[in-house]
Structure 1
């Protein structure tokens, strides 16, 4: 399905399942396929919504400045098109940054919030180390891809799961959109917004995440009123896929408890 944002951009989205809506927001420069491996975990009495960020998938790819706030506005356009007043939101990586903007700026639209492997950004966020940056910036694209895989998953999981992988970026994203996604994520700074988040919030992170250091989880949980925190031992950036049995159950239990007795 498609909708058009106030600035005229077409956004592609997909809804599966029935029940209370859970919005699943993917990582930087990724399309809705980010969630393919685990999406069905959440179809226990609820529907899921995934979308292609502007610049990815079947959405328009305007050559303009992108931001996590703009991506949040695109989510609102999708909800308006569906006629949905409120939804649960689960954002991972850059999707977690978008989810922060969404919950802080549109509190009446977010019923509960899950922030996975993400960061507040800005001077209060913990950045990846220089060694990680160098590994991803290698001129040899094969070596850079391998470095990213090792940041996403443990060696044991990679040995048992040779791919294909849906978390390494939209293979068809144009160069200008990739740059704009990088800027959007890199310039995110929600520090002043986080105390305004009123939705029940669950922060989850892998203990061994070097792509987005796990220290960011504690910062978010301390800054957001009443937020709960869970660190998954041994997990890297793609904890939600490799450790799906643990992670999906944690998220579902939180969503159920956070909205227990509430009328949708």
Structure 2
């Protein structure tokens, strides 16, 4: 598996799939997850373009230093994997950030032609936080209880009944404990409020109306803060809208990307 190096010396594993003449699409997984997050829907984007994924530091085949992590550093991970493709003559111009805190951090660093921010928040004091009930459900100590709570925050009961797994959105099972703690701390410290007005790329904000893990009220905050951003709420969708509601979400993203002219 190919690797690239970040400016602070971390080896980041990346994966390229598909072919196409259109601008490659960089897919960012949710924090504490590896590139397999996208396995179930990745082929949806391969009609006219290739896709690239990567493993954040602390996940997958990337380095896992026991040092402080941050969404700024996760954005450096994304920027690092864009560089090899730029040098190869295929500029990575489109970012699709599911749980897109690093996408919001990295977008002002260019070159980014278009940006999709999925079920994320601005972070910091301006964000709408999950409720105490949700926090308590994720902190349960009974075997399997917290995992089941997370599943129900990701997907509706009907979808879970029809799709018994495996599930790729519950965190990288191979992460060492120190990396999991570092990812959690990075998410808790995230605050991109001051950066959002500096995003110059056309931006689509997507969120499920029934998302309690990252409350849907964050979506209009982002859309209002990013200049010219479009907002699309998917009725009834939970946090993993991109998978359960792929029949809506994937065409929505592709249609948005086709409206953005090449530079």
Q: Same fold (TM over 0.5)?
A: yes
Q: What CA deviation, in whole Å up to 9, does each residue of 1:157-215 have, x standing for no partner?
A: 00000001000000010010001111111111010110000000000000000000000
Output the CA distance in 2 between the equivalents of 1:74 and 1:87.
Answer: 16
1:56-135 matches, cutoff 5 A: 56-82=59-85, 83=87, 84-93=90-99, 96-104=100-108, 106=109, 108-135=110-137
Shift of 1:86: 3.9
- Corresponding residue pairs, total: 257
User: 1:141: how far off?
Assistant: 3.6
Alignment-derived partner of residue 24 in structure 2: 21
Which residue of 2 is the match for residue 189 of structure 1?
191
Q: Deviations over 1:122-157 (max 9, x none)?
A: 000010000000000001140100000000000000
Q: Structure 1: where are the runs of 5+ without partners?
A: none
**1:219-258 equivalences in 2 (<5 Å):** 219-258=221-260
Once the two structures are superposed, residues 224-251 of structure 1 have per-residue CA deviations (whole angstroms, 9 ceiling, x without a partner) of 0000000000000000000001000100
Runs of 4+ in 1 over 6 A off after TM superposition: none
1:199 maps to what in 2? 201
Deviations 1:58-80 (CA, angstroms, capped at 9, x unpaired): 00100011111111111111111
Q: Alignment partner for residue 164 of structure 2, among 139, 162, 165?
A: 162
Residue pair 2:26, 2:92 contacting (<8 A) in 1 also:
no
> Residue 46 of structure 2 aligns with which residue?
43
| Unmatched tracts of structure 2, length 5 or more | none
User: When the two structures are superposed, what TM-score results if normalisation uses the length of structure 2?
Assistant: 0.96
Distance 1:141 1:253 in 2: 43
RMSD between aligned alpha carbons? 1.0
